[in-house]
Structure 1
C-alpha cells in the first residue's frame, strides 16, 4: 500500500462516530457471543487470539471471558480507548492496540487464531491484511473473516436490523448504512481471487443471512482441513454457497 493511501475506506471511525457505533453495536451482544463460541469450538483453551478491527471490543471481551489470551488491533484511536474501558468494566484483560491491519505491529507466528468481523470491506489494502494475518499466525493456525455479502438484498438487511431491536431512528440509520456499505462489500468470486493472490492461496467460504465467513489456514494440509470443516459445520444452504480454490 502506498504511503499516501489511507488504511481504511470512508470516514475515520473517531470521536462521536465511534461513540455512536459503540453504543448501538453493544445492543447486538448475541452476535459477539456467537463469534466467541465459534472460536471456542476451534481453539484450545488458553489459545492466543487476535481480533483485527475489534471496534468497541465486545467480541474480544467475550473471547477473553472464555479464557483466551486476546489482542485487539484497530486503526481507530477512539475505538482503542473505548475498548480498553469496556474491558475494564467487564473485568477481563485484553491487549487493545492501535495499528494498521495491513502493517500489523505484531511479531511473526504469535497467534493461534485470527478473527475479523464486519470490518474487512473497509480495508484499503485487503490482500495486505490477509497476508499479515498469515504472517502473525502460528503454523497450523486458522483465521475467520465475517462480513457483509455484496449480494445481500435490502429485504434481508431489513430483517437483520429488526433482530437488533434498535430504536426507530437508529434502525433507520443502520439500514441505510448497511445498504450504503454494499458497494464496498465483496462477492465470493472476489474473495477467492484475493486469497488466490495471498500467502494462504486457498480458502473456504460459507454464506449465512446477509453475511459470509471466509475461512483460512496457515499451511497446505490446514487449508484442506479448514475447507472441509467449514462444509460440515455450516451445512444446509451455506454449504451450497461454499467456494474452494485448488491448492498450488
Structure 2
C-alpha cells in the first residue's frame, strides 16, 4: 500500500471521526451537484479527472454518474478511501479511489486533463507542494479548480452554509464552531493564493470570492 506520510494539518480524518464526517457530509447533495456542474463547465467530455482529497467521494461519484469522464480520487485517509470505494460500488459507478498525499501524488507526469479540489486545500501541510504536483500531473492546456473556505469568512456566510447542510444536534453545533474558529485560521486569502501560484508554473489563473469561499481557476 502507498505510504502517505502526514500530509495534513491537525487531527487526521480516520476511523470514527471520518465516518461521522461522511455521515453528515452526505445529507445534502446540493453542494456536490453544484460543484459537479462547475467542473462540467470547465472539463470537456472525455476528460480524465483527478479529485484531490475527495473525502467520502460524493463529488467524484457525481462526476462519474454523468458518464462523460474517467474519474480518479486521491485521499490521504485510509478510512475515506474505503468509504468512497463502497459508495461508488453502491452507486454502480467506476471511480478509482486511491490512497496518497497531495504533495507527492502517485501518478506519472501529464496524466490528467482536469483536477478539482474542494474544501480541503487549507488542510494540506504542504500547499505549495500540492500545487506543484497538480501542475506536474496535468496535461498541457489542462485546468484545475480549487474551492475552499476563505480566511475572512463572515458569521452570516457560515450560518447560511450550515443551514444548507441539513444537519442538526451536536453535528450542527460542532460544524458551526469549526467553520468559525480553527478552520478559518488554516484557510488562505486571495493574496496568499497569489503568492503560492507565483511559485508554480501555471500559465494563467483567476481567483473569485464568494461570501464563504475562494474559487481558484488554474490553467497549465
- TM bucket (normalised to shorter chain) is over 0.9
Cα distance in 1 between the residues matched to 2:198 and 2:90: 42
Structure 1 runs, 4 residues or longer, greater than 3 Å off: none
Deviation string 1:121-172 (CA, Å, 9 cap, x unpaired) is 0001001000100011011000000000001012221121112121132111
> Pairwise mapping of residues 21-170 of structure 1 onto structure 2 (< 5 A)?
21-67=21-67, 68-170=69-171
Moved more, 37-46 or 96-105: 37-46
Could you tell me how far apart the structure 2 residues matched to 1:44 and 1:196 are? 27
| Residue 191 of structure 1 pairs with residue 161 of structure 2 | no
Contact preservation (8 Å) 2:111, 2:139: yes
* 1-structure distance, mates of 2:81, 2:169: 29
- Alignment RMSD: 1.1
Distance 1:12 1:100 in 2: 13
Cα distance, 1:198 vs. partner?
1.3
Larger Rg: 1
Counterpart for residue 174 of structure 2:
173
Q: Deviations over 1:92-147 (max 9, x none)?
A: 00000000100000111111100000000000100100010001101100000000
Equivalent pair of 1:112/1:141 in contact (CA under 8 Å)? yes
CA distance in 2 between partners of 1:51 and 1:6 (Å): 19
Indicate the larger mover: 77-86 or 201-210. 201-210
- TM-superposed deviation, 1:28: 2.5
Task: State the distance in 2 between where 1:87 and 1:35 align.
Answer: 17
Q: Measure the CA separation in 2 of the matches of 1:122 and 1:191.
A: 14
Cα distance in 1 for partners of 2:214, 2:197 equals 15
In structure 1, runs of 5+ residues without a counterpart are: 219-248
Structure 2 alignment gaps of length 5 or more = none
Q: What residue number does 1:216 align with?
A: 218
Alignment correspondent of 1:231: none
Matched-pair contact (CA < 8 Å) for 1:195–1:202: no
